[in-house]
Amino acid sequence: MRKLLIFLKGYEKETVLAPLFKMLEALFELFVPLVMAAIIDTGIAEGDRGYIVRMCLILVALGAIGLVCSITAQFFAAKAATGFSARLRHALFSHIQSLSYAEMDRAGTSTLITRMTSDVNQVQSGVNLVLRLFLRSPFIVFGAMIMAFTVDVQAAFAFVVTIPLLSVVVFGIMLWTIPMYRKVQAALDRVLGLTRENLTGVRVIRAFNKEEEELAHFQEENQKLTDLQKFVGRISGLMNPVTYVIVNGAVIVLLYTGALRVEAGVLTQGQVVALVNYMSQILVELVKLANLIITVTRAIACGNRIQSVFEMKNSLETESGRTGADPERTGEHSVRFDHVCLTYAGGGSEALTDISFTAKAGQTIGIIGGTGSGKSSLVNLIPRFYDATKGTVYVDGVDVRAYEVQTLRQKIGIVPQKAALFCGTIEENLRWGKADATQQEIWRALQIAQAEEIVRNKAEGLQSAVAAGGRNLSGGQRQRLTIARALVRDPQILILDDSSSALDFATDAALRRALRQMEQKPIVFLVSQRTSSIQHADQILVLDDGQVVGMGTHRELLQTCPVYQEIYHSQFDESVAGKEAGGNA
């Protein structure tokens, strides 16, 4: 948590002035009991109305000055806290964006969202309250004790006993509840994760009539969170009654001692009232301090959770000394896998095992296999979404780990499995591929992606609105626009990760034809479940359980690869398959 305080840099003035003005307010408040004692002992006892009026005006002045100090302190505290949280949230978001897929998988989306929102808000509240009350409350507590000693030393010993007892209660409960608040936030992560899962999969849930089961599951997790919060709340709730009991016990002792000393003529009635007022001030401030401790406890727990995200290191560091052929010198563009293996964090067994092949400029590499065979895992190694655990991936003769990540990905156009568009216009989405793309480049990319008709049929053309996630477009339209977005970049390597699954066969064929006719001749990696989509590829990789079980052209694989034969026969009529096999023979 302490490491997060660096985000208060630039707000040094506010972090000093906020507690300073609160202490000034507290200082003026400490004089109030003395003024009240003077009114009782002098003004009321002697019947001096003028003196009473003057003292009352002093009370009003003290209150007004205290109010101004309080408002000023609140302004500076709020400014520092909101500025701190804004910087923290920005830095946290930036850090999360810098993490690789491996770290994102390990942390989980739901917990990262919680830490970006709920946890940062808790820390902001903690910073605000600390700046306003963390110095004020102890100042009042010890200031009241010191002022009590100026009134009467013997009676003030009640303060000496009371304050340590209260400190034990307050800090004991704080230490008890800190780990519990961590558990509360972890339970909130689970509830948020379940909520996100249900909202994103709402269509599937309704299709299978699972609303009641999911509702029961949500209620179960929500009840666990509720019970945990209640338990922590009960412990935290002990603070107020226990402090009230201790302070009111001290007030009783103070009144008893004060009465005896008034009767003995050692103290005046006004001084006893002043002592009781000081004890009441301690009670009020300790109640505030108790609530502050609860908030700060939650803020510390949340701050530690945020800090744990900052401590995640990006595993995709650029490694010097990994060189190869110079693409600028050779003029060759290629992708080569050299005995590559991949194991996901916590995955146990390998997702990819001993993958070796070479793709050259202008070639189309088809990748096919069953669900979970490692198709997406393979292409994700090229832009370094993950790093190979064994072996090496070369792009243009250079180990991908020797590239700066941004330089490497600038060479690559990627169309992921799930078409993702962002809120804005069609043109804004396409310019993600290349911010300074000309209109000619944009329309050429749309034409190749078979998306030109989509745009021309819209009244506003490229300025047509796109909803978040492309909700106002069909699945096929989203896929074609995401392909166009990748093509705008004019990439050296184009990765289509099952990105034409929503396209009909005619559109899919037209897309493949257009890709082959591109002037710049990129290396195309075509991941697909359809043999029809990859049968014209220059080389086809057949994956099964993370291993290459077949490599060659469509005709070669029909003769030599049982896995490819099985996939092909499951998609085509036996008579068609027989003719192809006969033709190949």
The pair of structure tokens assigned to 178 is: 């800190």
Domain CATH for 143: 1.20.1560.10
Decide: pTM greater than 0.85.
no
**Domain for residue 532, yes or no?**
no
Separation CA 69–CA 17 (nearest Å): 10
Are 551 and 365 within 8 A, CB to CB? no
Cα atoms in the Cβ-side hemisphere of radius 13 Å centred on 307: 14
- The CB density around residue 343, as the number of other CB atoms within 10 Å, is 17
Residue 4 gets which letter from DSSP? G
Rounded average pLDDT per 10-residue block, the chain, 585 residues: 82 90 88 85 82 89 90 92 92 87 77 85 90 83 82 79 80 79 81 83 85 90 90 82 82 83 82 83 76 80 86 70 46 85 80 91 89 88 89 91 87 86 89 87 90 88 87 86 89 87 82 85 88 88 91 90 89 57 46
Any domain includes 527: no
With tokens 């942390």, the residue in question is: 107
Residue 61, Cβ density class (10 Å: 0-12 exposed, 13-18 middle, ≥19 buried):
exposed
**Can you tell me the distance from the alpha carbon of 151 to that of 302, in angstroms, rounded to the nearest whole number?**
44
Q: Yes or no: say if 59 and 79 are a contact pair by the CB < 8 Å rule.
A: no
91 in any annotated domain: yes
Q: How many domains does the chain have?
A: 1
Element spanning 355, H or E: strand 352-360
Q: Tell me the C-alpha to C-alpha distance, in Å, between residue 21 and each of 75, 76, 245, 331.
A: 10, 9, 31, 69
Cβ atoms of 280 and 251 closer than 8 Å:
yes
Q: Report whether 560 contacts 550 (CB < 8 A).
A: yes
Query: Residue 227 and residue 237: Cα distance in Å, rounded?
Result: 15
pLDDT at 500: 78
Task: Indicate the helix (H) or strand (E) that contains 167.
Answer: helix 153-200
User: CB neighbours (10 Å) of residue 390?
Assistant: 15
Rounded CA separation 281/163 (Å): 12
Domain-located, residue 515: no
The answer to whether position 341 is within a domain reads no
Q: Please, what is the Cα angle at 281 between 37 and 276, to 5 degrees?
A: 45
Of 30, 63, 275, whose CA–CA distance to 140 is shortest?
30
Contact 325, 332 (CB under 8 A): yes
User: For residue 574, what pLDDT is reported?
Assistant: 55
Total Cβ atoms within 10 A of residue 407: 10
**Full DSSP string of 539-568:** EEEEEETTEEEEEE-HHHHHHH-HHHHHHH
* Residues of the domain holding 49: 2-310
Given the structure tokens 């709340």, which residue do they identify?
233
Q: What is the pLDDT of residue 381?
A: 92
Which amino acid makes up residue 579?
Answer: K
pLDDT score for 326: 44
Q: 265 CB contacts (<8 Å, ≥6 apart)?
A: none
Report if residue 582 sits inside a domain: no
Give domain status of residue 535, yes or no: no
* pLDDT given at position 317: 66
Instruction: Determine, yes or no, domain membership for 424.
Output: no
Report which secondary-structure segment, H or E, holds 444: helix 439-448
d(CA 290, CA 235): 12
Helices 153-200 + 269-310 axis angle, to 10:
30
